[in-house]
């Protein structure tokens, strides 16, 4: 059989394109902001992870420009060899301080961070216990390791403990969870995870890709939110969301970071974070420390939208963060609503199986600290109009 047969037989996306409801790869013609120009039209952006509104912040832009002038466009090598800049070292120092850990290490992307850390920390004979709704990068990181991976029901601590009881005491155990889950916007049960970690002698890894900038003091993330910073062994996050850049990092004890530096293949064999990306992330950290009101404004905007959806009888998921899932249930309905929203001036992210279970499709809406009430009200009115239209079609 030709290995490309699967490519020929993949027709689902082309069918959606032909039907005029394909929702992906819409091109931006402007900065990522609360309103964008998309394919020649002004659109309210409710689908980015620009939680603190820093992608268009002039301080961040200037930091990137200055780094380009000082260090050039790239490092042309890995951190392990010629690709370490003093800028990387300063960024890692500031990141470790921000999340209250001894040391930090940067990777070229957030996805790569999880691949590189999980595959080096978890070895043959170890066990990984992973929440069923963890991000794809965690799933793939577990696959790359030689550890045995067991998945527990989403945020279900009874199921997690049931699995923990069965693991022999002589085996190493790593519990991995998202801090804020990327689709549902709910927060992990960190107090119970810490309790179980201690009870069974496990280590705890929290992916704060979405939590950083969203919850915790000054946006320091999940451990800060619960006051459990000393009890989380490894904190991971990304630069591509609240930090307005591209890259990722891990923060842990100095001993753990030292080991990962010398054992992680994705770290050792990848080019380092470009200077401009590192400089922007560093400036974003400075802004987060100086302007805690951004996190407060983000939470206020999300709460405002939650109340607005409920008032308009638009079904939403059980979220308490700046990620609010709007329930659409079926793939066809999800694509249709996405199309109508975009035509009316609102961008959202459609989420269908296998990213969610069949029959639980949704629109992933996410908010920014710099959204205005006028923008949010306009978006709510458009949502109400579109849902009424679609409900008439259904009936």
Helices (H), strands (E): how many in the chain?
15, 13
In CATH, what class is 13-45+292-394?
Answer: alpha beta
> In the structure encoding, which two tokens stand for residue 159, read together?
């199921």
Q: What is the pLDDT of residues 127-162, one digit of tens each?
A: 999 999 999 999 999 999 999 999 999 999 999 999
Q: Give me the pLDDT at residue 357, please.
A: 84
Mean pLDDT of the chain: 96
Q: Give me the pLDDT at residue 393, please.
A: 79
In terms of C-beta density within 10 A (0-12 exposed, 13-18 middle, 19 or more buried), how is residue 358 classed?
Answer: exposed
Q: What angle do CA 88, 93, 94 make, to 5 degrees?
A: 100
> In the structure encoding, which two tokens stand for residue 314, read together?
């638009």
Q: Give me the pLDDT at residue 394, please.
A: 58
Q: Give me the pLDDT at residue 333, please.
A: 94
So which residues are the catalytic ones? Answer: 182, 210, 241
What CATH number does domain 58-290 carry, 3.30.70.20, 3.40.640.10, 3.30.300.30, 3.50.50.60?
3.40.640.10
Q: Strand 103-107's sheet: what is its strand order?
A: 103-107, 248-252, 234-238, 203-207, 173-178, 127-131, 148-152
Q: Give me the pLDDT at residue 107, please.
A: 97
Q: What is the pLDDT of residues 313-324, one digit of tens each?
A: 999 999 999 999
CA atoms within 13 A on the CB side of 294: 24
Residues 6 or more apart from 63 whose CB is under 8 A from it? 279, 280, 282, 283
| DSSP, res 114 | H
164 pLDDT higher than 60: yes
User: What average pLDDT does the segment 186-191 reach?
Assistant: 98
User: What average pLDDT does the segment 363-392 reach?
Assistant: 96
Cα-only R_g, the chain:
21
Residues 6 or more apart from 330 whose CB is under 8 A from it? 359, 361
User: What average pLDDT does the segment 299-325 reach?
Assistant: 97
Q: Give me the pLDDT at residue 355, please.
A: 82
Of 199, 176, 288, residue with least CA distance to 242: 288
Q: What is the pLDDT of residues 63-111, one digit of tens each?
A: 999 999 999 999 999 999 999 999 999 999 999 999 999 999 999 999 9
Give me the percent of the chain exceeding a pLDDT of 90. Answer: 95
pLDDT classification of 26: cutoffs 50, 70, 90? very high
Q: Hey, is 316 helix, strand or coil?
A: strand
Distance CA 372, CA 395 (A): 35
395 pLDDT higher than 60: no
Q: What is the pLDDT of residues 233-246, one digit of tens each?
A: 999 999 999 999 99
Q: Which has more pLDDT, 19 or 61?
A: 61
257 pLDDT higher than 70: yes
- All structural domains of the chain with their residue ranges: 13-45+292-394, 58-290
Alpha-helical runs (H) found in the chain: 5-9, 12-19, 58-71, 86-98, 110-121, 136-144, 157-166, 190-200, 222-226, 254-263, 265-268, 275-290, 293-311, 331-344, 373-394
Q: Give me the pLDDT at residue 246, please.
A: 97
User: What average pLDDT does the segment 208-229 reach?
Assistant: 98
369 pLDDT higher than 60: yes
């Amino acid at each position: 059989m030709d290995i490309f047969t699967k490519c020929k037989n993949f027709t689902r996306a082309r069918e959606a394109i032909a039907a005029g409801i394909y929702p992906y790869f819409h091109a931006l013609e402007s900065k990522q902001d609360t309103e964008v120009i998309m394919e020649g039209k002004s659109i309210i952006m409710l689908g980015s992870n620009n939680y603190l509104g820093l992608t268009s912040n002039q301080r961040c832009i200037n930091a990137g420009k200055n780094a380009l002038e000082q260090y050039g466009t790239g490092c042309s090598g890995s951190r392990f060899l010629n690709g370490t800049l003093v800028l990387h070292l300063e960024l890692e120092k500031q990141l470790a301080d921000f999340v209250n850990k001894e040391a930090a290490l940067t990777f070229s992307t957030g996805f790569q961070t999880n691949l590189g850390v999980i595959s080096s920390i978890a070895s043959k004979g170890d066990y990984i216990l992973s929440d069923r709704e963890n991000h794809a990068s965690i799933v793939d990181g577990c696959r790359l390791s030689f550890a045995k991976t067991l998945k527990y029901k989403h945020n279900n601590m009874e199921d997690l403990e049931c699995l923990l009881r069965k693991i022999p005491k002589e085996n190493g155990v790593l519990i991995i969870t998202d801090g804020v889950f990327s689709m549902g916007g709910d927060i992990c049960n960190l107090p119970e995870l810490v309790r179980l970690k201690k009870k069974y002698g496990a280590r705890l890894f929290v992916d704060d890709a979405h939590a950083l900038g969203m919850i915790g003091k000054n946006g320091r993330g999940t451990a800060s939110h619960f006051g459990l910073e000393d009890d989380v062994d490894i904190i991971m996050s990304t630069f591509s969301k609240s930090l307005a850049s591209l890259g990722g990092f891990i923060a842990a004890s100095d001993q753990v970071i030292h080991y990962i530096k010398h054992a992680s293949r994705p770290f050792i064999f990848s080019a380092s974070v470009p200077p401009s990306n590192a400089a922007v992330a560093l400036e974003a950290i400075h802004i987060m420390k100086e302007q805690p009101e951004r996190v407060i404004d983000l939470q206020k905007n999300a709460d405002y939208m939650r109340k607005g959806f409920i008032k308009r009888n638009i079904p939403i998921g059980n979220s308490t963060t700046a990620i609010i899932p709007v329930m659409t249930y079926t793939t066809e309905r999800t694509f249709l609503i996405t199309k109508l929203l975009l035509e009316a001036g609102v961008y959202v992210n459609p989420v269908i199986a296998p990213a969610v279970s069949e029959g639980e499709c949704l629109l992933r809406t996410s908010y920014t600290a710099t959204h205005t009430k006028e923008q949010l009200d306009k978006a709510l009115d458009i949502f109400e109009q579109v849902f009424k239209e679609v409900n008439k079609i259904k009936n």
